[in-house]
Amino acid sequence: MLKKETIENAYKKIGENVAKARKKRKMSQLALSLEMGYKSVSVISFAEICLNGAHFNLAHLMQISSILEVPLATFFESVEEIIKNP
């Protein structure tokens, strides 16, 4: 069974990977939020840094993958290492 801390670290890494892909595409948090149908940046900004336990769910990641035109797997880079080496 995975520890809560390991899962949180995996969410943090996913958030970092989303932020990296977003910045590479030169898209702001607001622009991404609006593309996803949100009216504020809070969903994106909180999930990118796991503020107050916020994180991206699979539906978010699929939308972001489509909007940024990057493979879904991009967001999971280095996550397996966190899980294997907590």
pLDDT > 70 in the chain, percent: 100
Q: Are 72 and 3 in contact (CB under 8 A)?
A: no
Is residue 72 over pLDDT 90?
yes
* Confidence band of 85 (pLDDT split at 50, 70, 90): confident
- What pLDDT score was predicted for residue 86? 72
Q: How far apart are CA 77 and CA 86, in angstroms?
A: 16
Q: Which amino acid, residue 65?
A: S
User: pLDDT tens-digit profile of 26-66?
Assistant: 999 999 999 999 999 999 999 999 999 999 999 999 999 99
The pTM assigned to this predicted structure is 0.94
Return the CA Rg of the chain: 13
72 Cβ neighbours under 8 A, 6+ residues apart: 61, 62, 65
All domains in the chain, ordered by first residue: 4-84 (1.10.260.40)
Phi, psi torsion values for 43, nearest 5 degrees: -60, -50
